A and B are shown apart, each in its own frame.
Chain A
Amino acid sequence: MSKEMVINGETFHASEEQTLLENLEQQGIQTEYQCRDGHCGACQCQLISGSVEYIIEPLAYVRKNHILTCCSKAKSAIELVIPEAKLPLKLTG
């Protein structure tokens, strides 16, 4: 099963089995991460729409309408904004 995932306006299909960060990596999208364990907060980004489910409850201070990509999975179609993300040509065209 996959869910539609929009990042900075570009769409792809995200696997529900994997975390959002793993999905981003699979698409070749470079975003910031550090601990991959929900405690450093480096992967925090803005959630425009949709909802996520945490496989590890975040210890980092997560601001309103923000999520951590390293420890969450898509529960619905979601849209994210990650200003510093580097998107590959296959998505941006």
Chain B
Amino acid sequence: MNKYTTFSKVQNNALTEPMFFGNPVNVARYDQQKFEIFEKLIEKQLSFFWRPEEVDVSRDRVDFQDLPEHEQHIFISNLKYQTLLDSIQGRSPNVALLPLVSLPELETWIETWAFSETIHSRSYTHIIRNLFNNPSDVFDDIVNNEEILKRADDIAGYYDDLITATQFYQLHGEGDYTHSDGRVETITIRALKRKVYLCMNSVNALEAIRFYVSFACSFAFAERDLLEGNAKIIKLIARDEALHLNATQHILNLWRDGADDPEMAEIAKECEQEAIDIFMRAAQQEKDWAEYLFKDGSMIGLNKDILCQYVEYIANVRMQAIGFKPPFATKSNPIPWINNWLVSDNVQVAPQESEISSYLVGQINSDMDADDLEDFEL
């Protein structure tokens, strides 16, 4: 791997570079792509652009105040957790992955991805500002609440580990790094590659399992016609998240199938058990979280057991998508109604109608068939 520079003068062909650990990207060109999927994801993500202020959440305040205390706890804890997840996701892909990336389309995808996470973070402020006179009560608790912190360590840990090792490598090259606790770790390119592999699995578990568990809670309120403004925002967030998890699944699958760096295919095999453990730990933490959410009582349509079954169900689906065996016995979706909330309705509606969930920007239909010219005469 060449050391990071903001503009490498090495004349390199990005079509022959690996996704990570090749030459740093120099010219941001998108006319040719090694992996076209990332270019398509960028376009899709841009067409999904939305702003929190477009969604009217003013009715939610009344709904929230009318909720019994244990349901307020479920709602607000869930919102705090979502705020934590997007706080991490709004910055970490950029800090951790941009110094390592070697393809222009992937570099721009990472930036587009992280940017859309910052919109999500802004939307939580939009929601919380509307519900509380003093938003600090909610935000301040995120770094005090032990149940939230328990999981934050696991999520941020893989990013931090990769970022620290990359920084060491950028300064010193391969060598022994002494951690602040005295532990000595040998940093090599291969060690960095292992870290990026594990980090990508942890990110996928975050996006594909953790987020969906929180979506289930948000939508469960809206199924009862409560806090619908919040649900509309979460619907938009879920639509973005489907793209993000798709991208990390693609990266993991490309590595695994040997379509990218052959060394990454070896590492995928070598670290398979560790990666599976990441998913299993995420699933367990989500179940513990369900216990905490419903500690004072359930709500109509959702309780601890149903949410735990959903954790198992979604973990099975996501693990299969990246080539792992489904570890849980749960076969069917215990909350099939969630799918209605996860539909990406790409329907062209007037954008000034703020309550619609999607609209396309600057799209034209340019499909042309030979039949269209059938009755055309010169």
Asked if chains A and B come from one complex, the reply is yes
- Name A's B-contacting residues (CB within 8 A): 30, 32-37, 39-42, 44, 57, 59-61, 83-84, 86
| Of the residues B44, B253, B321, B343, contact of A36 by C-beta under 8 Å | B343
The chain B residue sitting closest to A85, CB to CB, is B332
Is the pair B246, A32 in contact by a Cβ cutoff of 8 Å? no
Q: Mark B16-53, 1 if CB is under 8 A from A, else 0.
A: 00000000000000000000010011001000000000
Report the separation of the CA atoms of residues A40 and B211 in the bound assembly, to the nearest whole angstrom.
14
The chain A residue sitting closest to B243, CB to CB, is A39
Residue B239 at the chain A interface, CB threshold 8 Å: yes
Report the separation of the CA atoms of residues A41 and B344 in the bound assembly, to the nearest whole angstrom.
12
Q: Provide a sorted-by-A list of 15 A–B residue pairs whose CB atoms are within 8 angstroms.
A: A30-B336, A33-B343, A34-B242, A35-B242, A35-B343, A36-B343, A37-B343, A37-B346, A39-B243, A40-B342, A59-B37, A59-B246, A61-B250, A84-B331, A86-B332
With a cutoff of 8 Å between Cβ atoms, the chain A residues found around residue B44 in the complex are 39, 59
Range class of the B interface residue count? 20 to 34
Known A-B contacts A32-B333, A42-B317, A61-B321; A37 and B246 likewise in contact (beta carbons under 8 Å): no
Residue B89 at the chain A interface, CB threshold 8 Å: no
- Name B's A-contacting residues (CB within 8 A): 37, 40-41, 44, 239, 242-243, 245-246, 249-250, 253, 317, 321, 331-333, 336, 339, 342-346
Is the pair B41, A59 in contact by a Cβ cutoff of 8 Å? yes
Is the pair B242, A32 in contact by a Cβ cutoff of 8 Å? no
Is the pair A39, B332 in contact by a Cβ cutoff of 8 Å? no
Known A-B contacts A34-B339, A59-B40; A40 and B242 likewise in contact (beta carbons under 8 Å): yes
- Within the complex, the shortest CB–CB distance from A26 to chain B, in Å, comes to 17
The chain B residue sitting closest to A36, CB to CB, is B343
Is the pair A61, B246 in contact by a Cβ cutoff of 8 Å? yes
Report the separation of the CA atoms of residues A37 and B253 in the bound assembly, to the nearest whole angstrom.
21
- Within the complex, the shortest CB–CB distance from B47 to chain A, in Å, comes to 11
Known A-B contacts A59-B246, A61-B253; A84 and B332 likewise in contact (beta carbons under 8 Å): yes
Known A-B contacts A35-B342, A61-B250; A41 and B321 likewise in contact (beta carbons under 8 Å): yes
Report the separation of the CA atoms of residues A32 and B245 in the bound assembly, to the nearest whole angstrom.
17
- Within the complex, the shortest CB–CB distance from B18 to chain A, in Å, comes to 18
The chain A residue sitting closest to B241, CB to CB, is A40
With a cutoff of 8 Å between Cβ atoms, the chain A residues found around residue B246 in the complex are 39-41, 59-61
- Within the complex, the shortest CB–CB distance from A69 to chain B, in Å, comes to 13
